[in-house]
Every structure is written in C-alpha cells, then in structure tokens.
Chains A and B, each alone.
Chain A
Amino acid sequence: MTEAHIELRDVRKAFGPKSVLNGIDIAVPRSHSLVVIGGSGTGKSVMLKCILGIVRPDSGSIRIGGEEVVGLSGGQRDKVLSRFGMLFQGAALFDSLPVWQNVAFGLIQGKKMRRREAKEIAITKLGQVGLGPEVGELFPAELSGGMQKRVGLARAIAADPEIIFFDEPTTGLDPIMADVINDLIVDCVKRLGATTISITHDMASARKIADDIAMIYKGRIIWQGKAADVDDSGNPYVEQFIHGSAQGPIQMEVLRP
C-alpha cells in the first residue's frame, strides 16, 4: 500500500446547528484521481474547502503528504497552498483582468515571477487547453461558459501543482463541451502526474476521469471503490444515484401534493 498523498480522518464541520460533515474518512494515493459523487448539499464543496483551509473543520485530521494541515496559519499555510490548483464550478475568473493575467495570476502574485515570463507560461497553458494566444488578450466576460471553464483549467494547472481539485467541472456545459473538458482534465492531470479530487454529480464525467469513486451522503462517505466497480457496488444509495432514480433510500425533501 502506497502512502496516501491526501488523507482525511474523521473530519467534522457544523455551521451553527446544521452539521455538514459527520466524520469524513478518505485517502487518496499519489497521482490518483478520486471522484466524489453525491447530491446537492451533501457536503462535497465544504470538504474541499476544509482541505484548502478556506473552511476550518471543527475536529479531525487532514494530512497532505503526511503533514498535518489543520490549524496551519500564515506562511506555513501559503506554502501548502502553493502545491494546490483548483478549478471552480463557475470558473471564478477575475473579471477585471484579461485572460492571460488570470492564468498567470498565481505565478505573478503568488510566486513573484516576472510578468513577461509568466505571460509566456500562460500562453503555453492556454494552448494545452486548446485556446490560442489571441484569447489571452480578451476579458473573461467576452468568453462562452465552456471557454471560461477551459481558462479556469489553464489557471489551475499554470503553477504545475501536485494536487488539483475540480469542483463540478462539467456542470452547466453541453454534453460535447463537457466531454472536451473531461478529456482535457485527464490529459492535463496525466501530464503533471498530479493527485486530484473532483466533485461532481455527472456520472459520465466521473467514469471518465476517476481511478476511484467515493459517494458522500449526509456528510459521510458511504461507499468507496474502483471506478470500474461502481456499477456493481451493491450499495442501494450508489445504485439509486447512478441511475438517477427518484425512488430509493435517498429521499429528497420534496413536498408532494
């Protein structure tokens, strides 16, 4: 068994009376791709934010490469964060900056690289997600949703991170563009050899990018296994989720007439 690159043990988080994470246990080996599936509001995003340190867990342990990161502050946390890249659900591009500065942002502000040098890297990274250098001069508002996602991906990989998070990478895209993004993710991750955690509720995307799949429900991991095994998990929750059926153990809180 290889040592886990990212390891969460009994991570709990509550917002006021509402507990969101009820003891998450998960381990991702180096250069593996884990996809976390689960419905809306089950704690997927909060889990990622806990690992990044944007949200502080109430209890539990989070280790990155064996180093405990819960409770780090200041310079130490910046150091850990410099190993991360993240693609946000809505791309989260800075709309006041042109595309190339968005991609180069972590290099210029975080790593204090010279602008000219950073621009060259940004254009290379844009090329890796299939965008030409002329796109670099546009502003995010001038791009379509799919292009914004690709710029977001270029920004996430710009600093060659060892860990990348994808927050619903295909949500809101047409199926063809979704597949293009999936291919790019697989491609970029392979090239970098990065460890990734993706959260999604798009099963097509999960099958394509995952080595392992875990399902989160009510703030707990209820199933975890190889991506190929997800169809015969024998877990009624997973079965219901992958078939997208309203009938099953997961009951949505919908008032019926």
Chain B
Amino acid sequence: MQTGRLVLGLLAEIGRVALFTKDALFQGLMPPLFLRQTGDQLLRIGYFSLPVVGLTAFFTGGVLALQIYIGGSRFNAESLVSSIVALGITRELGPVLAGLMVAGRVAAAIAAELGTMRVTEQIDALVTLSTNPFKYLVGPRLIAAVIALPLLVVVADTIGIMGGYIVGTRSLGFNSAAYLKNTVDFLEPHDVTSGLIKSAVFGFIIALMGCYHGFNSKGGAQGVGRATTNAVVSASILILAANYVMTSLLFNE
C-alpha cells in the first residue's frame, strides 16, 4: 500500500519534471531571447562561482597528489602522480565537484529567488504584463548555466592540476619540469572535452532543478525553504547519476 503510493508519487513527479522541461525548452529557449537577463545570469552563475569552484579544485588537486603518492609508493609507481592527477581532475573531479559546488550555490539561489517570486505572485504578474515567465526567467538561467559550467570547469581543471603541481613539487620532491612534461604528455584532448560535455549537462540540470522547484513552491517562507532544499538535493543526485551514465557512454570506445 505504502510502496504503491510512493511509486505513483515518484512517477507523477517525473511526469511533472518532464512537462516542465518541455516548456523550458520550447518556450524558454525560443527566440526572441532576453539577452540582458542572460548576460546578468551569466555573471551571477559563472563569474561569482569562480572563487568557490577555484578553491575546491585547488584543494582537490593537492589532496589527489598526496593520496596517489602514498598509494603509488606501495607499487613503486610514485612517478605516475602527475598524469593521474591530470586525468582524475579533467575526467571526473573537475566537472563533478564544480557541478556539485555550483548546484549548492546556484540551484539554491535560483529556487529561492523564483520561489519568492511565485509566492508573492510576481510570476503571475509577469503573465499579466504579456511576458512569458519561461522566456523571461527560465530561458536566461538555462542558457547561462549551460555556457558557464564548461567555462568554470576549464578554470577548475587548470587550478586543480596546479594544486597537484604545487603539492608535488613543494612537498613530494618532484622535479618541476618533469612533472609538467608528464602532465602534458599523458593528457589527451578527449579527457578534457569529455569533462566539458559533462559539465554542460550539469549546468542544464542545475538551472532546471532550481527553476522547477522555485516555480512550484507553495506557501510562504517554509515553502520557499523546502523548494531550496529540494533544488539542491535533486540537482546533486541528478548530477551524480547523469555523471555515471555519461561516463559509461563517453568512455565506452
């Protein structure tokens, strides 16, 4: 009985998200676009996420170098540190950690903002002013997030590898030139591009979940709070699930 209700609830939720996605794509992304709003969101989602993404990447690169050194020394394979840091950051940790950090920052902010607009009838007001809320609110956020995330990941990849380099050369005693040469030699373009493709999808998930939960928030402050939590949780879980699916597809060859 209980299980049946849960399954039905889950299916209904999936249906609602699918319908929302349809409206977001077919209404939100159709021209004419709101370029001013898109630029504004690009700044908020991309530029202002730089510190948190950069710091995350830096420490992750550093700790990765330490762990691989410790693990590698058991097989006399310490020399692999630089290439494994580069692979790990570009293929997995750069996109996923940037995605998760931005999910926490941006999905929450979008859900809170749109949720407040919903409960104070500002979204209804848009409709009465001949402005489609999907076009004005959802479209710019989706576009901005899909553009911003890959750019953030380029930065995260660079800073992450640099974090590994600093730890490797300063405390693990690697030769600076050899470390860099190993990094460049082992890295293939596909390692970086696959991470960037993933991150664009993560950007879409983040903006979509923020907008979906914001649009559907009910009640007052508590409803907006719940929408914010749900946006972050669902965006994070979907990022991790999508990451697995995409990894198995992208690295299949």
Contact = CB atoms under 8 A, between A and B. Distances in A.
A57 interface: no
B42 to A, nearest CB: 16
Contacts of A109: 34, 129-131, 136
B25 to A, nearest CB: 14
A13 to B, nearest CB: 16
Contact of A81 (B34, B121, B127, B136): B127
Interface in A86-124: 86, 88-90, 92-95, 105-106, 109-111
A106 B131 contact: yes
Interface size classification for chain B:
10 to 19
A217 interface: no
Contacts of B131: 105-106, 109-110
Contact of A52 (B120, B122, B127): B127
Interface in A159-206: 159, 165
B152 to A, nearest CB: 24
A88 B123 CA distance: 11
Contact of B130 (A88, A93, A110): A110
Interface residues of A, number: 26
A86 B128 contact: yes
Contacts of B130: 78, 81-82, 106, 109-111, 159
A85 B136 contact: no
B124 A54 contact: yes
B194 interface: no
Contacts of A159: 129-130
Given A82-B130, A109-B136, A89 B122 contact: no
Nearest to B119: A90
A54 B130 CA distance: 12
Given A88-B124, A92-B121, A155 B129 contact: yes
Nearest to B30: A74
Nearest to A85: B128
A88 to B, nearest CB: 5
B121 A52 contact: no
A54 B127 contact: yes
A49 interface: yes
B132 interface: yes
Contacts of B121: 88-90, 92
Interface in A138-168: 155-156, 159, 165
Given A82-B130, A85-B128, A90-B120, 7 more contacts: A52-B128, A90-B121, A109-B129, A155-B125, A155-B129, A156-B128, A165-B128
Interface of A: 49, 52-54, 78, 81-82, 84-86, 88-90, 92-95, 105-106, 109-111, 155-156, 159, 165
Interface of B: 34, 117, 120-122, 124-125, 127-132, 136
23 contacts: A49-B124, A78-B132, A85-B128, A88-B121, A88-B124, A90-B121, A92-B120, A92-B121, A93-B125, A94-B125, A105-B129, A106-B129, A106-B130, A109-B34, A109-B129, A109-B130, A109-B131, A110-B129, A110-B131, A155-B125, A156-B128, A159-B130, A165-B128
